[in-house]
Amino acid sequence: MKIGIISINMYSKGLNFACPLHTWAFQQLLFQHGIDNEIINYKPVYYNDFDLKHPADYYDKLYRSMEKQDGEDKEEKLKELAYKRDSYKELYCEREIRYDKFQKFIDKHYVKTDKCYNSDLLEVLDPGFDGYICATDVIWKNEPGYGFDRGFFLGSQVMENKWKIAYSASRGRWYPNNEEEKALFFHYIEDIDFLSVREKSLQMYIEDNSDKRATVVLDPVLLHKKEFWEKVAVTPKEKKYLLLYHVVEEAGDTIEQAIKYARKYDLTIVEVSDKPLEKGATIEMLDKVIYRYDIGVEEWLGYILYADCVFTNSFHGCCFSVLFEKELFVGNRLEDKVDNLLETFNIMNRKLQKNSSVDEETYPQIDYEKVNRILVEKRKESIDFLISSISRCENCKKDEKDYSQWKKSQKYEVIYNSQTQQNKTTELYTQVYDGKIKTLESGNKEFSLSELYENDGNSYLMANLFSRYGYSPKGWKVRVRIDREWFWYLEDGTLKLKKEYKKGDDSPVRCFKENEVIPYIPLNKISLIVAKAVWKKGIEKYTIIYNSGKKSNRIKCKYKENTGLIKRLPSKAIEYTVQVPVENNGETHFLYNIFKFVGGGYQFCGWRIRVRIGERWFWYFEDGQLLLKENVSTKLYDDIKVFSENELIPYIPANHVRVVVAEAVWKETKILKAWHRIRNMFKRKDVL
């Protein structure tokens, strides 16, 4: 049985020392027990396009983009981005060195996949493992703007019906904001066969809200004895120093207490954090502070191993301090993971108290004999859980599960793209459906329907209601976005990563017909579908009908029997249908007026046209636009264009034009108007 490990292994925005270490520690433990495994080179969906080597450039790009936007909290966001940009800019060279050292450690020690995966790719590309383990740290968090990362829950499609183990998972500070979020969390962990967590609070949350049982285990770095890590650690050149390692949140008190302690015991401060804090910096002790923002993980271990004492608010900073039996002082965090660790080893008294003195009365010495007894016991329990879980996976047959019901419950947005790249492209969607239209920089128009589609195989693609002169619609090509990645829907029913699709090498991209059913797509997440219009050269034709406009038996029609058909409607209006279809190219002329009133009284003014598209009727207006007939009020009638006799019939900016009705427009003659005035005068006299 070969196992794939998913963890926060490299792609951490802070170049966190612990990430490569806990992943490597976990892999080595499996190898020590003869378990074949590989680290999946995994990039979380929320990592986006973050530049790990040059974060200053990344935040500068975000800053410049934010400057162009509007919003109530714009200034606050700009201030935060400016701080991140400027603080990393000061460490530009150090960051490059640190990144290269991290990468060197990973290249040297990891046994990992060549391909980099994310939750999207793991919906369609199978790395080929028999089972999967999601291993440790804050992997079960709901990232603002992105949500949960399915890969960290082993919830992507290629992992279905494979053995799944969660080892030492953590949720950080996450608590559900609503029932939907809570339900999604438990949907993901329901499919995990063997479940262990790092914090007691997460164990209680799971067991209080579900039938799942969760075991509390140690972080992987604590599964090895200190000798394992001493072999890796690099001895620093500094002597007699206090090590300061903080993460950004709530670190001010940690720094202040470290300064007090260093002054009291005449120690140099060595700071090895990600970047300086905006406030509470150690600038006061400039002559006694050494900043090492360029170190790798081996050097970081060495700085902890040889420190006189350690001040940190980092969970893994505490873990290694305990392993190396250091004089440890622990700062505040917004999460409970550090407190959980201190409680596990009964050393909560090492947590820094605000404004306290840093002496032995306030912070009694740590009894590492007791700590190590607890550590040995917890280490055995944790390893036993892991190895026994894997053994059961190897020796048991996994029951097959049907995931289709969940996938069919997914809903997604569909956007229709005109693919015309013409600024004059018109559309009729917003008149017929509830949705929004926007014009892209390319000139393409996009329509998004307000209503979401269901992934049940019963939803239909719309008809193409864009227009493109000289072309008629052929269908739609469909792009599917899962979370971040785009995929083409191919002729053989598979999905192919858009950036890797090669015409001729792969199955052709499927061209769906208009109004064709969108097939059920067996994915755990569909964020968006874009239907891109496909066009073919050619001009559509339609039937033209000339309507008398007025409804009266006095109306007669002059026509040629061999060119059309005449019909009197129940309303008494007359319609003349031309037998030869008209090409929608704007090059055919209207007929001269073929209607007349017997006895006179009305003068012909021209033609106004109604257009039938599908089952709907539209009026053609002065500005060349079509407006849905039922939306045209009496006030708008004057804006309907009236065409002269023999004028060119315009290009109708729409597809699927079946019928155009040229309706005669009349006005009363002067004689008829005078007769109406005289008649009305006699009517008033009769009343008097």
Encode pLDDT of 439-462 as tens digits.
Answer: 998 899 999 999 999 999 999 999
Pairing mode, strands 486-489 and 471-481: antiparallel
Task: Give percent above pLDDT 90 in the chain.
Answer: 77
Band of the pLDDT at 685, cuts 50, 70, 90? low
Look at residue 271 and tell me whether its pLDDT is greater than 60.
Answer: yes
- The torsion angle over the Cα atoms of residues 496, 498, 500 and 503, rounded to 10 degrees, is 80
Whether residues 143 and 249 fall in one domain = no
CATH for 337: 3.40.50.2000
Whether residues 288 and 331 fall in one domain = yes
Given this model, what pLDDT does residue 487 score? 96
Whether residues 299 and 357 fall in one domain = yes
Instruction: Write 155-158 long-range contacts (CB < 8 A, 24+).
Output: 155/119, 155/188, 155/191, 155/524, 156/119, 156/122, 156/123, 156/524, 157/122, 157/123, 157/124, 157/403, 157/522, 157/523, 157/524, 158/122, 158/123, 158/124, 158/125, 158/126, 158/127
Of 372, 395, 418, the one marking the end of a domain is 395
Provide mean pLDDT across the span 558-566.
82
Look at residue 276 and tell me whether its pLDDT is greater than 80.
Answer: no
Whether residues 291 and 421 fall in one domain = no
Band of the pLDDT at 144, cuts 50, 70, 90? confident
CATH for 117: 3.40.50
Domain residues for the domain of 109 are: 3-47+104-223+383-395
Measured between alpha carbons, how far is 619 from 630 in angstroms, rounded to an integer? 10
The tokens describing 20, both together, are 């490569």
Whether residues 470 and 492 fall in one domain = yes
pTM, to two decimals: 0.86
The single-letter code of the amino acid at 571 is: S
Answer yes or no: is 127 within a domain.
Answer: yes
Asked if residue 660 lies in contact with residue 649, where contact means CB atoms within 8 angstroms, the answer is: yes
Counting Cβ atoms within 10 Å, is residue 504 exposed (0-12), middle (13-18) or buried (19+)? Answer: exposed
List Cβ neighbours of 565 (8 Å cut-off, separation of 6 or more): 576, 577, 579
Whether residues 590 and 576 fall in one domain = yes
**φ and ψ at residue 92, rounded to 5 degrees:** -55, -50
Of 353, 373, 395, the one marking the end of a domain is 395
Look at residue 688 and tell me whether its pLDDT is greater than 50.
Answer: no
Encode pLDDT of 206-234 as tens digits.
Answer: 999 999 999 999 999 999 999 999 999 99
User: When comparing pLDDT for 379 and 687, which is higher?
Assistant: 379
Pairing mode, strands 194-197 and 215-216: parallel
Answer yes or no: is 528 within a domain.
Answer: yes
Whether residues 305 and 440 fall in one domain = no
Measured between alpha carbons, how far is 312 from 407 in angstroms, rounded to an integer? 44
Whether residues 275 and 324 fall in one domain = yes
The tokens describing 589, both together, are 């002329």
Encode pLDDT of 461-520 as tens digits.
Answer: 999 999 999 999 999 999 999 998 999 999 999 999 999 999 888 899 999 999 999 999
Degrees to nearest 5, angle at CA 393 with 390 and 397: 175
Pairing mode, strands 657-668 and 602-613: antiparallel
**CA distances for 317 relative to 138, 336, 462, 478, angstroms:** 15, 15, 57, 49
Provide the 10 A C-beta neighbour count for residue 69.
9
Answer yes or no: is 430 within a domain.
Answer: yes
Given this model, what pLDDT does residue 286 score? 58
Answer yes or no: is 61 within a domain.
Answer: no
Answer yes or no: is 88 within a domain.
Answer: no
Measured between alpha carbons, how far is 78 from 59 in angstroms, rounded to an integer? 10
Band of the pLDDT at 675, cuts 50, 70, 90? low
Given this model, what pLDDT does residue 686 score? 55
Whether residues 563 and 581 fall in one domain = yes
Encode pLDDT of 37-76 as tens digits.
Answer: 999 999 998 888 899 999 999 999 999 999 988 888 899 9
Provide the 10 A C-beta neighbour count for residue 107.
9
Q: How many alpha carbons lie under 13 Å from residue 495 in its C-beta half-sphere?
A: 24
Look at residue 687 and tell me whether its pLDDT is greater than 50.
Answer: no
Measured between alpha carbons, how far is 293 from 172 in angstroms, rounded to an integer? 25
Measured between alpha carbons, how far is 87 from 275 in angstroms, rounded to an integer? 7
Of 510, 537, 564, the one marking the end of a domain is 537
Task: Give percent above pLDDT 70 in the chain.
Answer: 95
Q: Helix, strand or coil for residue 86?
A: helix
Answer yes or no: is 59 within a domain.
Answer: no
Whether residues 568 and 623 fall in one domain = yes
Number of domains the chain contains: 4
The single-letter code of the amino acid at 576 is: Y
Asked if residue 54 lies in contact with residue 96, where contact means CB atoms within 8 angstroms, the answer is: yes
Whether residues 116 and 198 fall in one domain = yes
**Nearest residue to 226 (alpha-carbon basis) of 321, 108, 344, 340:** 321
Degrees to nearest 5, angle at CA 24 with 31 and 333: 135
Give the distance from CA 239 to its chain's centroid: 49
Whether residues 136 and 160 fall in one domain = yes
Measured between alpha carbons, how far is 557 from 594 in angstroms, rounded to an integer? 6
Range with the poorest average pLDDT among 317-331, 336-350, 358-372: 358-372
Encode pLDDT of 628-640 as tens digits.
Answer: 999 998 888 889 9
Answer yes or no: is 549 within a domain.
Answer: yes
Look at residue 287 and tell me whether its pLDDT is greater than 70.
Answer: no
Measured between alpha carbons, how far is 582 from 573 in angstroms, rounded to an integer? 23
Helices 297-305 and 92-109 cross at an angle (nearest 10°) of: 100
Answer yes or no: is 322 within a domain.
Answer: yes
